[in-house]
């Protein structure tokens, strides 16, 4: 009797081991709630679409992908806690996400401690793959340096000799973007090109109004809103009510479709910003795989995908491909397959730089279209006119520039 019970227990254990072996878990750490929840939802939808497509095509190395999710709430401590749980409790082989550079940085460190890769989906601070970069962090979107360099190329052609006013979120992403834009747009003189910081993460509408009142009292012709998510939405609505959008060129360095939809076409018209990807890009440049993604996403969810969705979708596919090239999910083996890898997916060629794990890709400058054009789209989402671009190799920091930043931060000149 005892032997039969032991045999049954062994069979149950073997059975459970087989089930586990047939599944590769990946963890998505994103804000289901809070001021960045719209960008978080787009990540979730893009990730689920990729997982479904991959599983329908046979999985990864014959194993099914399983997506496990956690709500970061846009808070760094929660992001790190989630990452630990996704790896320690759920058995995630890699984790991705983060609609905040502070969240991505803290989450990436938690992954490194557990020898797992972390992919940043919406983290633009230079620090993510710069001063805070490490071997286990890979960033899929561009960084603030790349954004600023491409955006400033356009601004220097069309808004040279004009005064700027910066309203900046007071945390690592905001600091990075403002510093980088000032550098490349020749607006580092803070007496001429003034600015204020707004609280993060709990700014009030009154904080934005106070900042906008200072902008109104200046002689600035360019209003630089270094804000993201709901913060940008509230600030831009206030700027419109105060009449500032009619007397200043509004620039939002990092624009997403979700943010534009939240504000609406009337107020957004004419706003300039940068993006790593927009849904109309594949149609304008005939990127077939990109068009297939847009159609699949639109048909599944009755909405157009944003750059957040594209980033999450791309990361799942990049992880799959790296695992298949490695032949296993061992972190070091997958890392080696990613470093230096070049690929084409939703746009033109991109690559993962070996020395900093930054994804190098074309950067686009966009301007929001007139209302009638936006609403002509079947989902009312044809927001962005691509008005300029810069290749990834031209936009990204050189290795020498990256090493100098690392050393200045007291970090070694390598990951």
CB-count burial class (<10 Å; 0-12, 13-18, 19+) for 246: exposed
Helix (H) or strand (E) holding 251: strand 249-254
**Residue 208, Cβ density class (10 Å: 0-12 exposed, 13-18 middle, ≥19 buried):** buried
Q: Residue 11 falls within a domain, yes or no?
A: no
Tell me, yes or no, whether 246 lies in a domain.
yes
396-411, pLDDT tens digit by residue? Answer: 999 999 999 999 999 9
In a domain, 386, yes or no: yes
Answer yes or no: is 315 within a domain. Answer: yes
Laid out side by side, the sheet with 342-343 consists of: 342-343, 350-352, 359-360
Claim to verify: residue 309 and residue 368 sit in the same structural domain: no
Residue whose pair of structure tokens reads 């799942």 in the numeric block: 316
Helix axes 76-88, 101-113, angle to 10 degrees: 30
Does residue 302 share a domain with residue 214?
Answer: no
**Percent of the chain clearing pLDDT 90 (strictly above):** 92
Per-residue pLDDT tens over the stretch 369-379: 999 999 999 99
The Cα 350–Cα 13 span in angstroms is: 44
Length of the chain: 415
User: Does one domain contain both 351 and 293?
Assistant: yes
Q: Are 281 and 290 in contact (CB under 8 A)?
A: yes
Both tokens of 195, joined, read: 């600015």
Q: Please state, in angstroms and as integers, the Cα–Cα distance from residue 16 to each residue in 2, 88, 92, following that order.
A: 21, 18, 17
pLDDT in tens, 349-359: 999 999 999 99
Residue 306, domain member (yes or no): yes
In total, how many domains does the chain have? 2
pLDDT category at 80 given cuts 50, 70, 90 is: very high
| 412 in any annotated domain | no
- Per-residue pLDDT reduced to its tens digit, 239-290: 999 999 999 999 999 999 999 999 999 999 999 999 999 999 999 999 999 9
Helix, strand, or coil (residue 359): strand
CATH number for the domain that contains residue 334: 3.40.50.2300
Of 313, 341, 361, which residue is a domain's last?
A: 361
Residue with tokens 């991705």: 96
- E runs forming strands in 18-62: 23-30
- Quick one: 102 and 192 in the same domain? no
Assigned domain for 195 exists: yes
Q: What is the DSSP string of 70-98?
A: EE-TT-HHHHHHHHHHHHHTT--SEEEEE
Separation of alpha carbons 170 and 168, rounded Å: 6
Cα separation, 150 vs 181, in Å, equals: 10
Q: Please check whether residues 108 and 243 belong to one and the same domain.
A: no
165 with 117, same domain?
no
Round to whole Å and give the CA distance between 31 and 141: 18
Domain co-membership, 153 together with 137? no
Same domain? 233 vs 318:
no
Same domain? For 262 and 155 the reply is: yes
Positive or negative CA dihedral for 282, 286, 288, 289?
A: negative
- On whether both 122 and 218 belong to a single domain, the answer is no
First and final CA of the chain: distance in angstroms? 58
Quote the pLDDT of residue 6: 34
Distance CA 204, CA 13 (A): 54
Whether 305 maps to a domain, the answer reads yes
Specify whether 368 is located in the same domain as 349: no
Q: What would the two tokens of residue 180 be?
A: 């980088």
Q: Which two tokens stand for residue 290?
A: 């990109």
262 shares a domain with 388? yes
10-69 pLDDT, tens digit per residue, is 333 333 333 334 899 999 999 998 888 999 999 999 999 999 999 999 999 999 999 999
* C-alpha span between 145 and 125 (Å, rounded): 8
In which domain, by residue range, is 336 found? 18-144+287-361
| 256, 281 Cβ separation under 8 angstroms | no
SS3 percent helix, strand, coil of the chain, rounded to 5, is 50, 20, 30
Say which DSSP state 129 is in: T
């Amino acid at each position: 009797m005892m032997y039969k019970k032991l045999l049954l227990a062994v069979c149950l254990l073997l059975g459970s081991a087989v089930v586990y072996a047939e599944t590769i878990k990946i963890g998505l750490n994103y804000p289901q709630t809070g001021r960045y929840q719209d960008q978080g939802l787009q990540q979730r939808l893009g990730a689920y679409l990729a997982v479904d497509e991959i599983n329908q095509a046979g999985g990864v190395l014959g194993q099914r992908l399983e997506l496990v999710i956690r709500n970061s709430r846009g808070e760094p401590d929660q992001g790190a806690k989630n990452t630990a749980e996704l790896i320690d409790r759920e058995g995630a082989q890699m984790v991705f996400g983060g609609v905040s550079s502070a969240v991505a940085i803290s989450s990436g460190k938690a992954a490194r401690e557990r020898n797992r890769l972390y992919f940043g989906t919406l983290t633009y601070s230079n620090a993510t793959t710069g001063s805070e970069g490490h071997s286990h962090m890979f960033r899929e979107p561009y960084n603030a340096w790349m954004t600023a360099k491409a955006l400033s190329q356009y601004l220097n052609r069309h808004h040279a000799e004009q005064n700027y006013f910066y309203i900046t979120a007071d945390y690592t992403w905001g600091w990075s973007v403002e510093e980088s834009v000032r550098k490349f747009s020749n607006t580092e003189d803070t007496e001429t090109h003034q600015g204020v910081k707004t609280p993060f993460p709990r700014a009030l509408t009154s904080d934005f109004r106070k900042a906008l009142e200072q902008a109104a009292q200046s002689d600035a012709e360019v209003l630089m809103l270094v804000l993201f998510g709901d913060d940008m939405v509230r600030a831009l609505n206030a700027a419109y009510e105060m009449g500032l959008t009619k007397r200043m060129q509004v620039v939002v360095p990092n624009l997403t479709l979700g943010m534009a939809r939240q504000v609406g076409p009337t107020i957004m018209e004419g706003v300039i910003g940068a993006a790593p990807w927009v849904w109309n890009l594949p149609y304008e440049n005939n990127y077939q795989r990109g068009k297939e993604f847009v159609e699949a996403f639109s048909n599944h969810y009755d909405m157009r995908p944003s750059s957040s969705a594209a980033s999450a979708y791309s990361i799942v596919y990049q992880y799959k491909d790296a695992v298949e090239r490695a032949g296993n999910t061992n972190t070091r083996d997958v890392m080696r397959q990613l470093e230096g890898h070049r690929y084409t997916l939703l746009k033109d060629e991109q690559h993962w730089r070996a020395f900093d794990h930054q994804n190098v890709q074309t950067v686009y400058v966009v301007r929001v279209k007139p209302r009638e054009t936006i609403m002509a789209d079947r989902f009312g989402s044809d927001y962005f006119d691509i008005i300029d671009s810069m290749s990834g190799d031209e936009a990204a920091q050189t290795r020498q520039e990256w090493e100098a930043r690392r050393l200045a931060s007291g970090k070694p000149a390598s990951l």
